[in-house]
Chains A and B, each alone.
Chain A
Amino acid sequence: MLVILCPHCGPRNSDEFSFQGEIVARPGPASDQETWRDYLYMRDNVAGWQTERWFHVSGCRRFLNVERHTVTNEIGVVTPVGGVQ
């Protein structure tokens, strides 16, 4: 159980959050199949630092960009998508 320092709610257990995974940019609706399926299914799965998305579903209900080291689970900077509200 990780602690995530939510910029709105403070240090909270990760089970209050829904993990959304790597941040992937949505390609346009006219994309070819390969591009679209990459968006749907393909992830980098890095061993190291990555910025990923968490949703504080049982808290402030804001989507957050969270820096996390995927090997050590160390958490870096946490920023709400679109800034603190």
Chain B
Amino acid sequence: MSRLSERPGEVIDRTRPMDFSWNGKPYRGYAGDSIASALAASGVRVFSRSFKYHRPRGILTASFHDPNLMVQVGDEPNVRAGHRLVEEKMEVSAQNAWPSLGFDAKGVNRLLGRFLTPGFYYKTFMSPRSLWPWYQRVLARFAAGGVVGVDPQPGRYDHRYAHPDVLVAGGGPAGMAAAIDAAEAGAAVILVEEEHRLGGHLRWGDSDDLGALEELSAAVLSHPGIEVMVDSVVTGRYDHNWVAIAQRGVEGVDERLVKARVKCLVVATGTIERPYVFEGNDLPGVMLSTAVRRLINLHAVRPGERAVVLSANGPGDSAIADLEEAGVEVAEVIDARGDDTVIKASGRMGVQGVIDSRGRRHDADLLVTAVGWTTTTTLLNMAGDRPMYEPRAARYLSKSLPYDVLATGGIVGDGSTDQLVQHGTAIGREAARRASVVKFQWLTAVPTGVTRQPPDTSEIEVPPLEAERHPELFRSSTHGFVDYSEDVTSKDLFAAAAEGYDSMELAKRYTTVNMGPIQGKLEAVNAVAIHGEATGSSPLETSTTTWRPPYAPVSLGVLAGRQYEPVRYSVIQPWHERREAKPLVAGSWIRPEHYGDPVAEVTAVREAVGIIDVSPLGKIDLRGRDVPKLLEFVYVNKWSKLDVGKVRYGIMCNEDGVIFDDGVTGRLGADQYMMSSTSGGAAGVWNWLDDWLQTGFPDWDVKMTAVTDGYASINVAGPNSRELVGRLTEIDLRPEAFGYMEVRTGVVAGVPGCFLWRIGFTGELSYEIHVPSAYGLWVWERLLEKGEDLGVRAFGIEAQRIMRLEKGHFIVGQDTDGLTQGHGMGVDWAIKLDKPDFAGKPELMWQAERDDYRRLAAIQTEDPAIVPPEASQIVAGDVIKGRITSSRMSPTLGRSICLGQVDPDLAAPGSRLHIRLSDGVTVAARVLEHHAHFDPEGTRLRG
């Protein structure tokens, strides 16, 4: 092969040479060359070795969908060399060939070919089972595919949402015409083209085609209503016209995933030329007519010296003229519309001779086939269409489409450029009209008071576009490759049929035909036809192919997009950062785990006073006459007699009786309550309340506002907490004026609108101050400033967790799990089964009757130095009797402490337990009388 003189439609820029390497050797191409065209221009004929037999393979389609042109570029495997443009200094190498393309050691498989029948691997490497790992290692070395770079270079990927009225998939003549006329009708249009340039088959056509291309693409590119995406692919159409586009060539990112909600989708994806099955059909030098036309007309590459052409259609005949113009000697034209055909191509590393059906042998290094077209119906299929095979035209045609999907161009039928454009034009106008109908439905879904002009309801008349008559040509009288990616031959399909795989779906899975990276685009129709031939049925007529997304392989990077993970911070975060708090990911929140020394933080709280930022605590403001009814329903305990100024602890269960949240709720005024929930459960509780209020009890007078972010929350804990808080507020803090489990509102550090409640998660005297969040940091800093002489110290989640464990307070989700029902957690007293109704009541009733549930217990190991890891099993012999749910070394007690769930027969105080550690060692432990390891009487808390 060699480079031709300038071609009128060439896409290469001869002023910009590109130096790159192929298998370590230097090569030169031009800007605009694909990797394949640049190599072909330099005489490269063999591009890869096949998957199973390691046969030499060359250019077949010269497009994205060429199964033989998968190469390695740098550390990127499986690059489509028929599509990817060559770049300066690009390092390209062949895949699946060792030690080299010319001599491939694994080519020994070719000799074994007659043994590599379908199911060969299943049948051969079945036994003995003990050798499976060895088989796996050896076979993995024979598998195709490139090498994934181990250097985790992060690519740059992006996502975007788009809301076009009309999206046109395919930038051929009909697609361009549709885009122009939809935009002319006022629609916002996106036009997506898989290749690097608009034009479809016009690009490699004659001067009339090139003239039409220039006119259409100029109109498209200059129209302000059309956004053009080239080198981009519509990978799928999902429900309600949710369309995914992998967009390449965007500045600043490697790839971008566009998620488009399309009001009307126009599918103009055209056709893909079908290979022909005969002996030697995979030899380098056997090419489709579109491949040679691309090479000659787009890249000015002479595809061979002496050609035989098998043609059954007009475009195939045009290839003959192109070949002659390119100086290729056309040795023989075999007209496949008659009885003649090709029997065999022969040669070792490429075509050397062709034998036709009359038995004549032609010397040739190029065999061009033009035997038919496969409609690219993937998107239609995803839109619910079931395209049917039309034998007269030897292709699948659309049967029925939903209202918001239209088709135009080669996928519908054949015609002159004018006919294609006329069809596209009408479809474009109709698409714009249907988009306006959808838009009208959407805009009028909500009553806005705006009067809108109803859309035009009269359909645009679309001129017919008929699929031309075409002979059905799938296989010659010899056997050849059907699926090039997977090395599946027509003989394999016959063998599968003979073995009883008479269903195409089963034969597909057995032979792996259609299952390679080309996903059946080239070979699916041949496979179905040949399977039909083998089984004596005519499945094409009754079959339809199911195409699933993605249409073409997409990178995982583009699906992942940017690494966005929104997080939430408390308003006190700037202080935490200054003090280099160790960050802890707690759900969507980032919280201080500790400030360097959690043990010292515990000591400060137990001996003096500490403050902790508990702003993520869920807070819901509840107002109205019926709030007590709501509380009675969602909590297991009673709420009707909660006086103003009091708070109460409550547990919420789902309707299956499983605990899902806990917290305190206080009554701030006659009809005003403040509910708190766990930090992680805040959203769930809010939704839960909304659900009951809207769907269960719509008549109740309850106004609910989520105010989690409205208040910064600071828990002041420790023996000096009363003194410290007293220095910042006028609220009467004396025990007789503000008792345990009470709430007060007032001014703190000059900030009005605060509320405080006296609760004690840590087991110490403590006040939880809730400050309007704009002043959270201010109050935090005042507490530290005013408490300096009192020994105040900030503490983090870890110190709080240690102290609550010392105190025996459980954490929902830590000490409970998705099956833990209300009873057994030490708060059975709070479950009021005598209430007429509450969420989960029946299940809790039955749970109490069964009395078989695990109990939460405070547990101490006999060896005080051993801290059993959380989730350690509690065992009796080999029977699991429970598990450790929380464990820590207690700085206060100087020993290991645990909470755990234990079977009822081992839950009694004093029971001896055996805890199995992860290393298999079992340690002895015992159950305590109270949940609290420390201060079980609660004297500190209530002081």
Contact = CB atoms under 8 A, between A and B. Distances in A.
Nearest to A39: B655
B690 A61 contact: yes
Contacts of B687: 18, 55, 57
A10 B695 CA distance: 21
Given A10-B443, A29-B836, A55-B691, A82 B242 contact: no
Interface string B832-847: 0000111001110010
Nearest to B448: A10
Given A10-B443, A36-B842, A82-B698, A63 B691 contact: yes
Contacts of A5: 441-442, 445
Contacts of B449: none
Contact of B695 (A13, A39, A81): A81
B694 A10 contact: no
A31 B239 CA distance: 40
A5 B447 CA distance: 12
A66 interface: no
B676 to A, nearest CB: 20
Contacts of A43: none
Nearest to A62: B694
B240 interface: yes
Interface string A48-71: 000001010100011100000000
A72 B690 CA distance: 30
Interface string A18-51: 1010000010111101001001100000000000
B131 interface: no
Contact of A40 (B238, B239, B656, B841): B656
A81 B442 contact: no
B299 interface: no
B261 to A, nearest CB: 7
Contacts of A26: 655, 696
A9 B442 CA distance: 10
Given A18-B687, A36-B843, A1 B238 contact: yes
A10 B446 contact: yes
Contacts of A18: 687
A63 B694 contact: yes
> Looking at chain A, what size class is its interface with the partner chain?
35 or more
Contacts, number: 69
Contacts of A81: 694-695, 698
Nearest to A30: B842
A78 B846 CA distance: 38
A9 B695 CA distance: 19
A26 B691 CA distance: 13
Pick the most buried of B445, B446, B836: most chain A CB atoms within 10 A of its CB: B445
A5 B690 CA distance: 21
Contacts of B869: none
B645 interface: no
Given A36-B843, A55-B687, A63 B695 contact: yes
B539 interface: no
Contact of A9 (B242, B446, B690, B838): B446
B841 A8 contact: no
Pick the most buried of B446, B655, B838, B846: most chain A CB atoms within 10 A of its CB: B446
Interface residues of B, number: 29
A36 B847 CA distance: 14
B655 A3 contact: no
Contacts of A13: 261
A78 B445 CA distance: 9
B407 to A, nearest CB: 19
Given A1-B239, A13-B261, A40-B655, A31 B842 contact: yes
Interface string B765-783: 0000000000000000000
Nearest to B446: A10
B842 A29 contact: yes
Nearest to B657: A40
B240 A3 contact: yes
Nearest to B241: A3
A6 to B, nearest CB: 7
A81 B696 CA distance: 10
B904 interface: no
Contact of A29 (B259, B446, B696, B837): B837
B77 interface: no
B240 A2 contact: yes
B561 interface: no
Interface in B693-723: 694-696, 698
Interface string B721-762: 000000000000000000000000000000000000000000
Contact of A63 (B259, B443, B690, B838): B690
B242 A1 contact: yes
A11 interface: yes
Contacts of B826: none
Contacts of B259: 1
Contact of A1 (B240, B443, B843): B240
A7 B846 contact: no
Nearest to B261: A3
B384 interface: yes
A30 B845 CA distance: 10
Nearest to B443: A10
A52 to B, nearest CB: 12
B695 A53 contact: yes
A4 B627 CA distance: 32
Given A55-B687, A61-B690, A33 B846 contact: yes
Given A29-B837, A40-B656, A82 B446 contact: no
A84 B447 CA distance: 10
Contacts of B655: 26, 39-40
Contact of A2 (B239, B656, B698, B836): B239
A11 B404 CA distance: 16
B240 A73 contact: yes
A30 B843 CA distance: 11
Nearest to A29: B837
Interface of B: 238-240, 242, 259, 261, 384, 441-443, 445-447, 655-656, 687, 690-691, 694-696, 698, 836-838, 841-843, 846
Given A10-B443, A29-B837, 20 more contacts: A1-B259, A1-B261, A2-B240, A3-B261, A5-B445, A6-B446, A9-B446, A13-B261, A31-B842, A40-B655, A55-B687, A57-B687, A62-B694, A63-B691, A63-B694, A72-B384, A73-B239, A81-B695, A82-B694, A84-B447
Interface of A: 1-3, 5-11, 13, 18, 20, 26, 28-31, 33, 36, 39-40, 53, 55, 57, 61-63, 72-73, 75, 78, 81-82, 84
5 contacts: A1-B259, A26-B655, A29-B837, A36-B842, A61-B690
